[in-house]
Amino acid sequence: MATEEKVADHLLTDLHVKYIQSLDHRKEDLEYWLTEHLRVSGLYWGLTALDLMHHRDALPRQEVIDYVVSLQREDGGFGGHLHHDSHLLYTLSSIQILITLDAINAIDIDKVITYIANRQNTDGSFTGDVWGEVDSRFSFVAVAALSLLKRLDAIDIPKAVEWILQCKNYDGGFGNRPGSESHAGQAYCCLGFLAIVDGLHYVDTDLMAWWLCERQLKNGGLNGRPEKLEDVCYSWWVLSSLSILGRVSWIDKEKLISFILSAQDPDLGGIADRPGDMVDVFHTVFGVAGLSLLGYEGLKRVDPVYCMSAEVIERIGLEPKYSL
Ligand code: GRG
Ligand code: ZN
């Protein structure tokens, strides 16, 4: 017998809050252990989703701060979990959490600046950790973290820009390294990078916005590159890029809102990559943040560069980058 499918037509805020609160107690789930290496990023995603839904206090503030502080390593960087090696990705998540909770002075800031600056190569690119993988994601993460700490002077910005511009493609998009295929995740990173260093004039706005709005499919969802499936997280990677370019109106907002809402778990909360799939905190934050960029009622505004509430970005005195 066919069961009637429940499809939510509004944001299930209370359920999402409970879902995020439950994540740290799900030690019987295999996923809990499989994601140990990126636990602090999971915490940043959960906290940001809660903050945007006006429930920042739903996680125990002091416990979260103590945990993040415990992740700072001797080299100044942060690991994804206790006793894990430093990586730029987890360093940014740690800084984002502490700034959201207004507790950045709890860590050794000079040491983390040194860690980030040491990741820059002579060609301007950045490695994610001491093992040497280079990616435009890491250039973004480095400048995002340094700008949140007001220490962009610690790196060679002109060289960093030179390298990012080599990742730009003829179709208007960006890849993860010079010569790589355009991908929406990298579009966000390279555009966010240029927004932070005041380099948006290097981008052909209409060409890039055209490539980005072409990511919307008939079902309203967005994909990350041509011929790929729709996925809720591109509601962040694509839409934040369009927001930075001031071209959110180039996509069908109502259809995208319906697509994101249809990917919610109507029983236990959380948002999945697409309707019917298992939820996770990664797609939950990017679904909520995407709805915020779409002006969904009852949510705080999100900053399209930092993926933190615009209120927090304004509190620390950075210029908000939000535009519809
Ligand atoms: C502060 C929000 C924030 C981010 C920090 C980690 C990072 C910087 C950015 C990641 C950007 C990125 C590359 C996102 C894409 C993630 C993703 C869905 C990858 C999957 O790619 P494919 O090719 O999947 O496996 P498709 O969708 O093309 O089939
Ligand atoms: Zn996804």
Expressed in angstroms and rounded, the spacing between residue 247 Cα and the centre of ligand 1 is 21
Asked if 14 contacts 58 with a C-beta cutoff of 8 angstroms, the reply is no
- Give ipTM to 2 decimals: 0.97
Domain count, the chain: 1
In a domain, 322, yes or no: no
Between 163 and 323, the more confident residue is 163
- Alpha-carbon distances, residue 78 vs 48, 82, 108, 295, 320 (angstroms): 19, 9, 11, 34, 26
The answer on pLDDT for 5 being more than 90 is no
The answer to whether position 112 is within a domain reads yes
Look at residue 1 in the predicted model and tell me its pLDDT.
41
pLDDT value, residue 320? 64
In a domain, 3, yes or no: no
**Distance between CA atoms of residues 90 and 44, nearest Å:** 9
Q: What share of the chain is helix, strand, coil (3-state, %, to 5)?
A: 50, 5, 45
pLDDT at 323 over 60: no
Q: Distance from the CA of 252 to the center of ligand 2, in angstroms?
A: 20
Q: Is residue 6 part of a domain?
A: no
- 36 pLDDT above the threshold of 50: yes
Token code pair at residue 178 = 């010079």
Q: What's the mean pLDDT in 288-309?
A: 98
Residue 174: is its pLDDT beyond 60?
yes
CATH number at residue 19: 1.50.10.20
258 pLDDT above the threshold of 50? yes
- 77 CA to middle of ligand 1, Å? 22
Flag whether pLDDT at 324 surpasses 50.
Answer: no
The answer, yes or no, to whether residue 2 has pLDDT greater than 50, is no
Kindly state whether residue 163 falls inside one of the protein's structural domains. Answer: yes
**Predicted confidence band of residue 319 (pLDDT cuts 50, 70, 90):** confident
Residue 297: domain span: 13-316
Q: Which of 88, 99, 188 to mutate to test the pocket of ligand 1 (most atoms within 8 A of CB)?
A: 188
pLDDT of 308 strictly over 70: yes
Tell me: pLDDT of 322 over 60: no
**Confidence at residue 225, expressed as pLDDT on a 0 to 100 scale:** 97
Asked if residue 8 belongs to a domain, the reply is no
Neighbours of ion ligand 2 (CB under 5 A): 231, 233, 273
Reported as a single tens digit per residue, the pLDDT across 76-99 is 999 999 999 999 999 999 999 999
Minimal-distance CA residue to ligand 1 atom 7 = 137
pTM over 0.90: yes
Residues whose CB is less than 8 angstroms from the CB of residue 99 and which lie 6 or more positions away in sequence, other chains included: 148, 308, 312, 316
Domain assignment present for residue 34? The answer is yes
For residue 150, give every residue at least 6 positions away whose Cβ sits within 8 Å of its Cβ, in sequence order, or none. none
Asked if the model's pLDDT at residue 4 lies above 70, the reply is no
Residue 14 in tokens? 């209370």
